[in-house]
Chains A and B, each alone.
Chain A
Amino acid sequence: MAAVANAADRRAEVRRERRVAFADVRTVWFIALRQLWERKLLNGIAIGGVVLGILVLIAMNGIFSGFSMKFTMAILKISPHVIVFDTELRPQPSILARHEGTFVATSVAHEVPSDRQARIKRPSEIVRALQQMSEVRAAAPSLAGMALIEYGGKTKSIDIRGIDVDAQQNVTPLNQFVKKGSLGALAVATDGIVVGSGVAADLGLHLGDVVHAAAPGGRPLDLKVVAIIEAEIPPVDKVRAYALLRNVQTLLGKPDIVSRIEVRLWDENQGFAAAERIERMFGYDAEPWQETNGNFLAIFAMQAMIGRFIVAAILLVGGFGILAVQIMIVLQKTRDIAILRSVGLRRLDILRIFLLQGLIIALIGGAIGDLLGKLALIQLAKLPVKMEGLVKSDTFLIHEDPSFYVYGVVFALVVGVFASLLPAIRGSRVEPVDVLRGQIG
């Protein structure tokens, strides 16, 4: 009798039963989480693979973008955004050539180039016109050339720039790089020279030392070192020198000649567009900084590319880790899959269980990878490294960007989904009957 009453109670209870929405998803979550937890070691290994991938991704990005950002920032200060050169884009044909075929000259066999020096005509007018342009912040005329300087029996070839100190300062903020002395002294003294730190080191120069400078076709000058600058870009610091425009014109034998106009823009990213506009307006070759420093920027682009390959390779390895572990679990769990299917879980439920496990592994791996990546960047930034190549620094140059961490997790999730797709599909294809018959499992 008691049993019958029990059965009746039970049936009443069944009628009263409360139903739950998304029961399939809830069950899938429950199973996925429990199975992950019960296989901590195996899944821990899979997570470790992802962590390593994300860690390397963040560290690599931090280092590579640290270098290129530092270089770009320094180069944008020491070099102008656009340089207007003394090359005319549509040179006027010579008088002789213009009259070829007329009664003046029936044909021109070979024209001997005149020894007229290249120059920018009416530079101050162009500077003024440039300063009227909306995108231009400042413009300064200068003369650039090669010269030899001699001090204490040592000779060095330098890249000397004749400048108008105030105008140049607006285009390339040189005073930010002054290590010793002052830029103002250049404007005051009539025979001053500013040298890069590398030049000073090579020749053993100190403030107040007088160097002997000479160039072909010009008049040698004795110049006094009034400042030493350091842009922390060795390729610049080792050869660069500045002096007054007038002195350099004398030194190079180019009286009254301006060979370039340097321009600073409000927005350095507009370099190409501005250069093109300047070329159209003035007819002189104009070059944006991205082109001037194209060699270096190409190195960084290459570096970033290599970095991406390495990160992709490591993430791939991490993905194979998930794949291996998941395949192993699916094979081990064939029997359990058959049970779940026989008690009424659908193929999709099984697929979801394994995909979810892959996602959770990836998410945990991504989160830990982000955290360790952050710690790695903090430690790397403290790492003392004496380097003097393209960029000079005493420590690792690290640039930290929040997007690294977002990329980290996103890549981890993509890898997780792709890596667990195959095992999940395999798991969902298990036929319970095959397992029950004893063919599998």
Chain B
Amino acid sequence: MTHIVEVRGLVRELSGGGAAPQTILHGIDLAVPHGQFLALTGASGSGKSTLLYLIGALDRATSGEIWLDGVEMGGLDDDDRAAFRNERLGFVFQFHFLLPEFNVLENVALPMWRRGIHRDDANDRAYEALALLGLEELWKRKPGQLSGGQQQRVSIARAVANDPALILADEPTGNLDSKNAEIVFDVFAQIAGDHGRTVVMVTHDKDFAMRADRQVQLRDGRILADARRGEEIIPPSQRMRQVSHSR
């Protein structure tokens, strides 16, 4: 298994408010190899976040297949997918989703407690993850006492502490100033590069997207372009040829 993520013919329709179903994704095919740092880009409403949630086992596809680490998500029920998220995936969201009642260390360790890891071991690992992000001094603080950049780094620590196969980030720099955004991006680059983890990141930032290993651009629920670092973004008219060529 060389690909950690394999998406085949993925379609997602939304039927909201009694209106006619709205197709968000029109048959996406995507394969992400182990250790790749992939940036998903595209305008608002292009379907990039929807694709990310589907890959993150948070949402169900209307049709098509999602293989994560050799497991097909469509065959899992709600509890199985929750367990899968808990054990194999790490999430980072735009609005640094931390639990306000718990201190930094507890926030990072909580998914591991749920998994059944002994509290001391989980706390050790949480502390290590915080140290990796230079936050070990702040472990006792509540999220409310941290800056936006620090909170986002804590949520990255939470995502990596569990030692997940895949880390999914939804515009993790979208709510940060440029300096903090730079720090957070570098952390992701480091996680993917030095630690060999796979990262799929949705971003609006063209500069960050260029610096990822690979950039996949979506428009209107279809893959518009797919480029490795340093390559030009391929125009839509040539996309099919390029994809078939790469196979």
Contact = CB atoms under 8 A, between A and B. Distances in A.
Interface stretch (A18-26, A112-120, A283-291): A18-26
A348 B119 contact: no
Interface in A2-54: 3-4, 6-7, 10-11, 13-14, 16-21, 23-24, 26-27, 30-31, 34-35, 37-38
A342 B85 contact: yes
A204 B84 CA distance: 92
Interface string B67-97: 0000000000011001111110001010001
A344 B86 contact: yes
Interface string B47-84: 00100010010110000000000000000001100111
Interface string B158-192: 10000100000010000000000000000000000
Contact of B102 (A11, A34, A346, A437): A34
B118 A38 contact: no
A39 to B, nearest CB: 8
B163 A14 contact: yes
B114 A3 contact: no
Contact of A338 (B56, B87, B97): B97
Contact size range, A: 35 or more
Interface stretch (B31-39, B120-128, B211-219, B231-239): B120-128
A337 B218 CA distance: 29
Contacts, number: 105
B98 interface: yes
B53 A19 contact: no
Given A338-B97, A437-B49, A343 B114 contact: yes
Contact of B113 (A11, A23, A342, A433): A23
A89 to B, nearest CB: 73
B89 to A, nearest CB: 8
Interface size bracket, B side = 35 or more
B97 A433 contact: no
B111 interface: yes
A13 B163 CA distance: 11
Contacts of A3: 194-195
Given A35-B101, A342-B56, A433-B58, A17 B118 contact: yes
Contacts of B18: none
Contacts of B102: 34
Contact of A336 (B84, B99, B194): B99
A4 B195 CA distance: 7
Contact of A20 (B49, B58, B116, B196): B116
B199 to A, nearest CB: 16
A345 interface: yes
Contacts of B195: 3, 7
A349 B114 contact: yes
B138 interface: no
Contacts of A347: 78-79, 82
A385 interface: no
A246 interface: no
A11 to B, nearest CB: 7
B170 A23 contact: no
A436 B93 contact: yes
Contact of B101 (A10, A34, A437): A34
Contact of B118 (A10, A18, A349): A18
Nearest to B102: A34
B4 interface: no
B115 interface: yes
Given A38-B101, A436-B53, A345 B124 contact: no
Nearest to B60: A433
Contact of B117 (A7, A18, A342): A18
Contact of B97 (A14, A34, A335): A335
B58 A342 contact: yes
B110 interface: yes
A339 interface: yes
Contact of A19 (B78, B83, B110, B116): B116
B125 A13 contact: yes
Contacts of B53: 433, 436-437
Contacts of B111: 343-344
Contacts of B118: 17-20
A156 interface: no
Contacts of B78: 346-347
Contacts of A34: 101-102
Given A19-B116, A336-B99, A346 B121 contact: no
A234 interface: no
A411 B103 CA distance: 36
B124 A13 contact: yes
Contacts of A30: 113
A19 B117 contact: yes
20 contacts: A3-B194, A10-B128, A10-B163, A11-B163, A18-B121, A20-B117, A21-B116, A27-B110, A335-B97, A336-B100, A339-B98, A341-B58, A343-B85, A344-B85, A344-B115, A346-B78, A349-B114, A436-B49, A436-B170, A437-B53
User: Which 6 pairs show the lowest CB-CB distances between chains A and B?
Assistant: A344-B86, A23-B116, A18-B118, A343-B111, A38-B101, A339-B97
Given A7-B196, A336-B99, A344-B85, 10 more contacts: A11-B163, A16-B121, A18-B120, A34-B101, A341-B58, A343-B86, A344-B111, A344-B115, A348-B79, A436-B58
